[in-house]
Chains A and B, each alone.
Chain A
Amino acid sequence: MKVRSLMVVDDSMVFRNRIARLATDQRLAGVKVVALAENGMDAIEQAKLHKPDFVTMDLTMPVMDGPACLEALRTVLPEARVLVVSALSDRATALKAMTKGAHGFLLKPFSDEQLVDSLQELMV
């Protein structure tokens, strides 16, 4: 089975841990969490190091926010598929994330099932 590597980017430690834990759900066979990043700058460094296939990305973060990180990742990690996971829910925010390279959008707060479903869709 091909290992699908995932990087989780969120300034909330609790949410990083939660997403990482749910990503190893049995419905998501073969997913390995290779990096946890707490801001956009950290994510870029870890992306260069671990080259994850998939990324979950918060939008509101210190140091470097999600939209800026999405733009940078297009150069560093052009093949990665990105799921934005954010409490910012207006149409303009979602559209902006998509134009910057996101492949999906999951609104916080989310249930365990919603996250697993979104990751499944991202990894199809």
Chain B
Amino acid sequence: MTTSRLKVEDIKIFSDAAMAFFSQTTGHKAAVRTAYMLGSEETVVWNDFQGRIDLSGHYRGSVTFSAPRGLLTHVLLTMGESSYTDASHRDIVGEITNQMSGYARRHFGESMDISPPRVITQGEDVTPPGFNAAPFVIPMLWDRYEAHLVVRMGKAGGL
């Protein structure tokens, strides 16, 4: 999963963040499955809820965490939450994205600007303007559910 532009540890930092969220918050570890690159014909992965951060600076692009409702409901249940509204599902996706932002800030330091995490809705354009690098998809398995981490990143000026 290495390209000439991107180091594997630069991508792994995002799956590490999501893994840490599941492990610490629910007490149950998630598993990362084999990552793959999306083809040009299938540039989007959509589950029920997705949170995204945009990156600029030394690298540019975006990272999206996409999860099905069932997974998030189960996470809420495990956390002892009694509200299973859309708002609480969006809240959890936002928090997972927030973890990724925190890990990225620590890993990349001042070489990268990271937008505030935001929850995006289906139909919204997920490709940063002028960005044509193919996205990596990292499937994550938690309990019996599968979520996806979609990483679109490239070194600035190298796209």
Residues A13 and B24 in contact, CB atoms below 8 Å apart: no
A109 in complex: contacting residue of B21, B83, B91, CB < 8 Å: B21
Contacts of A74 in B (CB 8 A): none
The verdict on B15 contacting chain A, using a C-beta distance below 8 Å, is: no
Q: How far, in angstroms, from A14 to B25 measured CA to CA in the complex?
A: 11
Q: Does A120 contact B (CB under 8 A)?
A: no
CB of B128 within 8 Å of the partner chain: no
- Cross-chain contact A18 with B79 (CB below 8 angstroms): yes
Interface contact tally, CB-CB below 8 A: 58
Docked-complex contact A108 and B91, CB < 8 angstroms? no
**Measured CA separation A105–B101 after assembly (Å):** 18
A90–B91 CA distance with the chains assembled, in angstroms: 23
- CB of A95 within 8 Å of the partner chain: no
Choice from B80, B83, B102, B106 contacting A21 with Cβ under 8 Å: B80
Instruction: State whether the Cβ of A99 lies closer than 8 Å to any Cβ in chain B.
Output: no
Q: Does B81 touch A at the CB level, under 8 Å?
A: yes
Q: Cα distance A88–B99 when bound, in Å?
A: 8
Q: Name the B residues within 8 Å of A87 (CB-CB).
A: 95, 98-99, 101-103
With the chains together, A13 CA to B109 CA distance in Å? 29
- Which A residues are closer than 8 A to B by beta carbons? 12-15, 17-18, 21, 60, 86-90, 108-111, 114
Interface positions of B (Cβ within 8 A of A): 20-21, 23-25, 27, 76, 79-81, 83, 87-88, 91-92, 94-95, 98-99, 101-103, 105-106, 109, 116
